[in-house]
């Protein structure tokens, strides 16, 4: 009898052991996306990019970092973006960050720059608009600096400001420094004295100022000289020499501006230019390869997708030359139904860049998706091919 009980116990232990082994085996073989909130953050779950699909973080939640940017710091990538909620595109929480070692699996680092409470009257009061945040590290000051597009609460897109926040730690919390219009009282480097007076004339001349030609001449530059230039869709680019640049849609979105930053990355230095005047570019994303700067932008159609644009220059200060749409394949005429947001350099891999774009869902921005695709070079010009699934 005792022998029988012993045998039974042994059988149960053996059965339990086999079950355990089996579970572990099937878990590691079906490990593409795990929606369990108890996910062990050391486990590699996602092995490829799936552009346009739900992309879960290590807690199994859809990543919430839209219009974002990525930096690499001490062996890890950090992705910041707009935290979105359903029912509104306005900021109810702030800017969220994720970290990753492999670019596929992202750990939620939480809200790193939080909105201020309602009725606080602060520039970043809950309900304001915080868009396209980018984070950079300043070697001289040891500070992390976030730049983003800010619109004041209940003012639509009229304020057209940029904003700056800083932290001593990459994962924050970030402290809001200030928000402003760009380069008050400073004319762009690429407008001669004659062009400046023509711009003033076209702004003052009621008849002339309605015409498209007057936008090209810079009527909005003249109009906004005292208050500062409008600053909406934006990116930040740090060049090989450590100089950083703020690239943004200005002049009622008609023209892009490129403004050099001060050495601490907190302000504009006062050196700036207008590029591609009158072309209505939004969503700027930039990269540099073999001394050439490549700029990818979208047209200006609100949240709706349109055809991507490409421009090239041998100097950040231009001249910039437009080239055809770099996108290829399914929905290439509409940037794969997305809009550019950033170009990410893959560390330790020669000539490897990722084009980052957002598929916006204005009716429920929580469901907005990400498109990450490799940038390839054909005849030394960037091309972006659609791919349902790909890996580095
Ligand atoms: C297009 C911009 O690229 C987005 O960041 C956002 O500002 C929408 N317009 C708002 O319509």
- What token pair was written down for 378? 């054909």
Closest C-alpha to ligand 1, atom 10: 302
Report angle CA 377, 381, 382 to the nearest 5 degrees. Answer: 60
Strand, helix or coil at 14? helix
User: Whole-structure pTM over 0.85, yes or no?
Assistant: yes
The alpha carbon of 180 and the centre of ligand 1 are apart by a number of angstroms equal to 19
What confidence tens digit (pLDDT) does each residue in 60-111 have?
Answer: 999 999 999 999 999 999 999 999 999 999 999 999 999 999 999 999 999 9
The alpha carbon of 132 and the centre of ligand 1 are apart by a number of angstroms equal to 9
40 has pLDDT over 70: no
The alpha carbon of 39 and the centre of ligand 1 are apart by a number of angstroms equal to 34
Distance CA 62, CA 213 (A): 45
- Ligand 1 interacting residues, C-beta cut-off 6 A: 67, 131-132, 233, 282-283, 302-303, 339
The alpha carbon of 233 and the centre of ligand 1 are apart by a number of angstroms equal to 7
Determine how many CB atoms are found less than 10 A away from the CB of residue 33: 13
Beta strands in 64-212 (DSSP E): 66-73, 76-82, 94-100, 107-114, 129-138, 143-151, 161-167, 175-180
Distance CA 153, CA 159 (A): 9
Q: What is the pLDDT of residue 4?
A: 57
Q: What is the pLDDT of residue 35?
A: 31
What confidence tens digit (pLDDT) does each residue in 109-147 have?
Answer: 999 999 999 999 999 999 999 999 999 999 999 999 999
207 falls in which pLDDT band (50, 70, 90)?
confident
210 has pLDDT over 90: no
Residue 344 phi, psi dihedral angles, 5° rounding: -105, 130
3-state helix, strand, coil in the chain (%, to 5): 15, 40, 45
Q: Kindly give, in sequence order, each residue whose CB lies less than 8 Å from that of residue 115, ignoring residues fewer than 6 positions away.
A: 91, 92, 93, 94, 124, 125, 126, 127, 128, 130
Mutate to test the pocket of ligand 1, among 303, 358, 360, 362 (most ligand atoms within 8 A of CB): 303
Q: What is the pLDDT of residue 11?
A: 53
38 falls in which pLDDT band (50, 70, 90)?
very low
Beta strands in 202-262 (DSSP E): 234-238, 244-250, 255-261
Strand, helix or coil at 119? coil
Mutate to test the pocket of ligand 1, among 131, 309, 363 (most ligand atoms within 8 A of CB): 131
212 falls in which pLDDT band (50, 70, 90)?
confident
Reply yes or no: is the peptide bond before residue 131 cis, omega within 30 of 0. Answer: no
Residue 278 phi, psi dihedral angles, 5° rounding: 75, 0
The alpha carbon of 256 and the centre of ligand 1 are apart by a number of angstroms equal to 15
């Amino acid at each position: 009898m005792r022998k029988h009980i012993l045998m039974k116990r042994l059988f149960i232990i053996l059965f339990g052991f086999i079950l355990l082994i089996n579970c572990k085996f099937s878990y590691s073989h079906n490990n593409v996306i795990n929606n369990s909130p108890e996910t062990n953050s050391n486990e590699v779950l996602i092995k490829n990019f799936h552009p346009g699909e739900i992309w879960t973080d290590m807690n199994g939640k859809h990543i919430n970092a839209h219009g974002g940017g990525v930096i690499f710091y001490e062996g890890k990538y950090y992705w910041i973006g707009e935290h979105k909620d359903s029912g509104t595109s306005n900021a109810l929480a702030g800017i969220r960050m994720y970290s990753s070692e492999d670019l596929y699996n992202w750990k939620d680092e939480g809200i790193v720059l939080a909105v201020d409470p309602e009725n606080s009257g602060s520039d970043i009061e809950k309900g304001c608009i915080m868009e396209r945040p980018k984070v950079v590290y300043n070697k001289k000051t040891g500070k992390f600096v976030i730049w983003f597009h800010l619109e004041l609460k209940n003012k639509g897109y009229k304020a057209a400001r940029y904003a700056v926040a800083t932290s001593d730690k990459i994962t924050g919390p970030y402290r809001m420094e200030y928000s402003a219009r760009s380069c008050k009282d400073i004319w762009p480097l690429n407008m001669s004295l004659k062009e400046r007076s023509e711009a003033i004339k076209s702004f003052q001349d009621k008849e002339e100022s309605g015409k498209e030609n007057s936008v090209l001449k810079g009527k909005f530059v003249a109009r906004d000289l005292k208050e500062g230039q409008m600053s909406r869709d934006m990116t930040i680019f740090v060049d090989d020499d450590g100089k950083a640049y703020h690239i943004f849609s200005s002049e009622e979105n008609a023209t892009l501006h490129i403004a050099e930053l001060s050495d601490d990355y907190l302000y504009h230095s006062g050196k700036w230019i207008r590029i591609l005047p009158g072309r209505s570019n939004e969503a700027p994303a930039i990269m540099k390869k073999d001394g050439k700067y490549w700029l990818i932008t979208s047209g200006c159609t609100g949240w709706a997708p349109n055809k991507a644009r490409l421009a090239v220059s041998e100097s950040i200060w231009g001249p910039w030359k437009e080239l055809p749409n770099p996108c290829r394949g399914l929905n290439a005429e509409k940037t794969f139904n997305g809009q550019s947001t950033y170009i990410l350099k893959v560390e330790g891999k020669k000539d490897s860049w990722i084009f980052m774009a957002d598929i916006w869902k204005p009716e429920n921005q929580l469901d907005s998706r990400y498109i990450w695709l490799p940038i390839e070079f054909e005849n030394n010009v960037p091309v972006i091919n659609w791919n349902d699934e790909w890996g580095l």
